[in-house]
Amino acid sequence: MKNVILFLAKWVIIFIVTSVLIFAAVRMMPSTPVDKWLDAYHLPHTEENIEYVESKMGLNEPLPLQYVNWIGNFIKGDWGVSLVSGENIRERFMAKMPYSFSIGITGILLGAFAAFFLGYRAALRRNGLCDRLTTSMTIFCQSIPMFILSILIINAFGVRLGIASFFTGDGRYSLLAAILLTALYSVGGLSRVVRSAFREEMSKSYVKFMVSRGFSPKTVLWKHAYKPPLASLVSAIITRFAGVFGGSTVLEFAFAIPGLSTMLVSAMDSRDYSILQTYILVVVIWMFFVHLILNLFLRMLGARRSKA
């Protein structure tokens, strides 16, 4: 119970501190949404025009009052409206979230699934085929930026072969390519984490004892030593889930996918305080649930391991 209270208290503090910092940070940007709005309509930056637009956007109130109104409405479920377009922010998020979530969550889970099996096989035979493959994949993904590979895929399958239509139709080819690229760029590093965890288990006495009794290392690792490597894999993917929102920016732009990252870039360009603030807080809430669920899973693995 104490750990639960500490966990919740930590995330409440993170939420409050982050909300204050992002509220202050966006207002320290070199230009304001008022400037961008006046420029968009080719209006002079006169004192009267600035006061009118600030009043229209609600930016003429004292900063502490602006913060209290914003955070209070956010907690109640009212995420406000875009300062530039006037659109409902929550509706925009809900419309674009499935694209980013499909890319991020599906790609990471596919990559983690493949990484576990590749890491397991790589641990069985040092310098074997899977060991060399995971090393090569890690080096490949670290050497070639994702946007270059995206362009090559579009050129090969969309232009030269004509197999997939990335910028027309329902966008399923674009979404599929983005998911597979996310998985590919996750497999290498995660598989090496799994391999190291399995190799560590192979050096422990209970594994050596079972192997000495005639059990094959393959069977011992797969049936009795999988929990610590699985826990290591889960710990490794926790941080990767933070990229579900912003990590797919390159892919969303390369394949013209209308996800959250494109909305964020547009909001930064127009200095839309409301969207930027909301975006960061939604990421904090998302990471809270990621840590909550995966930490519960890790505790389950630990509980089972201690009973074995």
Task: Give the Cα separation of 241 and 304 in Å (integer).
Answer: 25
Between 198 and 35, whose confidence is greater?
198
Q: Please give the pLDDT value at position 19.
A: 92
Question: Which residues 6+ apart lie within 8 Å of 29 measured at CB?
Answer: 271
Picking from 38-52, 64-78, 292-306, which range would have the lowest pLDDT averaged per residue?
A: 292-306
Residues 54, 57, 60, 64: what is their CA dihedral angle, to the nearest 10 degrees?
-150
| CA distances to 132, 230, 296 from 138, in Å | 10, 19, 29
- 56 CA to centre of own chain: 34
Burial of 62 (0-12, 13-18, 19+ CB in 10 A): exposed
* Chain segment 151-167, per-residue pLDDT in tens: 999 999 988 888 888 88
Averaged pLDDT of the chain:
86
Task: Give the Cα separation of 18 and 295 in Å (integer).
Answer: 22
Summarize the confidence of residues 117-141 as an average pLDDT: 90
Contact 92, 263 (CB under 8 A): yes
Q: Please give the pLDDT value at position 43.
A: 85
User: What domains sit in the chain, N to C, each tagged with a CATH number?
Assistant: 97-263 (1.10.3720.10)
Task: Give the Cα separation of 38 and 114 in Å (integer).
Answer: 51
Q: Map residue 30 onto helix, strand or coil.
A: coil
Question: Which residues 6+ apart lie within 8 Å of 261 measured at CB?
Answer: 100, 245, 246, 248, 249, 252, 253
* Chain segment 71-105, per-residue pLDDT in tens: 998 988 888 888 877 888 998 888 888 888 888 88
Does pLDDT of 281 surpass 70?
A: yes
